[in-house]
Amino acid sequence: MNNPTPKLRTRKPTGVIPWPTILIEGEEKSGKSHEAAAFTGCELTGQAYWIELGEDTADEYANVPGADYLLIDHTGTYRDILGQIEAVHAEAKRAAAAKEKPVVLVIDSGSMLWRMLVNWTNERARRSRKGQAALRKDPDAEVKPSMNLWNDAAERWQRVMYLVRTMPGIVILLARGKEVAAVDGNGDPIPNTKDWRVEAHKSLAFDATVWVRMRREEPPHIVGARSLKFQVPRGGQPKPMPDFSIEKLVFGLMGCSIHNQPQPTPELTGDLAQVWMPKVHEAARHGVEKLKALWRDVEADEDLSRDEVLVVRSAIERAAAELKTPRKFSDPTSDDVARLRSAAAQQQDQEVEGAFAEHPDGEFAA
């Protein structure tokens, strides 16, 4: 039996200007955080939230004239940071649905978020079997992360950026930028030529609606913008803005208005089963009874295909089994573990002694 042809769904475009994601990057001490703090008290915006990632200005910058924001507490872990941004995203959706003034989120800084993920990737590479083998031979060996580890870091970055891009409010992303030596296609320096580098994931500029650069000795410049209200010449120099402020940028140059709510952006998912996975994890936190209730809810969801129902139910079964029989982790202080470690150490000593017997000069093949 052939599936019926889906019914076409269309609508007329509204022409409403969406709330922007503003990337403000530049040199240290150039005023990036000061500009963001000053904007948080704008009368045209609603509640402002500030999430500080590896920086230390948010408490002090509450004294900037006009500043008015709530500082988000987090534990410093990726999971908690992502959860807090999800919470702001949910509050922004609520405010937009109630036709309130737009929520503002300041992320200070994207550079430190990416550095955290880079450090996580390097540490995972060092913890890997291959990395541990290299470090046993040379504690100072360079351990390069594999592509799958970098893909994991990029996926974590994109999960944050997806929330940023779909936030029904105004997001200000701060990042570090600096002048660096230009290099050619082979990675060799080009004499007497300088380039500019933003310290974050390479896709950051694509995720921003407007890209602003700040330097200590120059006025702010707009590097690029996705806007019909004003243009930055293609292929030309960044556009200077001597009287720059975020409020003038958003409600002046870009033409955003609190009287016109942009259409919400639907979440992109590979399948509907993906949407249910957070529900499974949340239900598992509250016990088996919650998982049983979720099992019945899945069957009642008419939008799910049969395959998607089976995928979700399989996840529920795994979660229930985990609750009934939790995984056991070895006690590092137990006698059994101590015996295993002793045996492993003896085996390693024997291998080293054998290697020295074959190579009395102490030189080993790679």
- The rounded distance, in Å, linking the Cα atoms of 181 and 212 is 21
Q: Over 50: is that where the pLDDT of 363 sits?
A: no
Contact predicate 33/55, CB 8 Å:
yes
Q: Residue 284's closest CA among 242, 238, 235, 320?
A: 320
Residue 87: what pLDDT?
Answer: 96
Q: Over 90: is that where the pLDDT of 109 sits?
A: no
Q: Where are the domains of the chain?
A: 21-253, 272-324
Distance of CA 52 to the CA centre of its chain: 13
* Per-residue pLDDT tens over the stretch 43-65: 999 999 999 998 889 999 999 99
Contact predicate 150/121, CB 8 Å:
yes
- The rounded distance, in Å, linking the Cα atoms of 165 and 225 is 15
Residue 327: what pLDDT?
Answer: 67
How sure is the predictor about 134, in pLDDT bands with cuts at 50, 70 and 90? very high
Contact predicate 258/44, CB 8 Å:
yes
Contact predicate 47/236, CB 8 Å:
no
Which range of 37-46, 186-195, 222-231, 293-302 scores highest in mean pLDDT? It is 37-46
Contact predicate 110/52, CB 8 Å:
no
- The rounded distance, in Å, linking the Cα atoms of 30 and 247 is 18
Q: Pairing between strand 21-26 and 48-52? A: unpaired
> 3-class DSSP state for residue 224?
strand
Average model confidence (pLDDT) across the chain: 86
Token reading at 103: 């929520």
How sure is the predictor about 196, in pLDDT bands with cuts at 50, 70 and 90? confident
Instruction: Provide the CATH number for the domain formed by 21-253 in this structure.
Output: 3.40.50.300
DSSP state of 223: E
* Per-residue pLDDT tens over the stretch 310-337: 999 899 999 888 888 876 655 555 555 5
Residue 236: what pLDDT?
Answer: 67
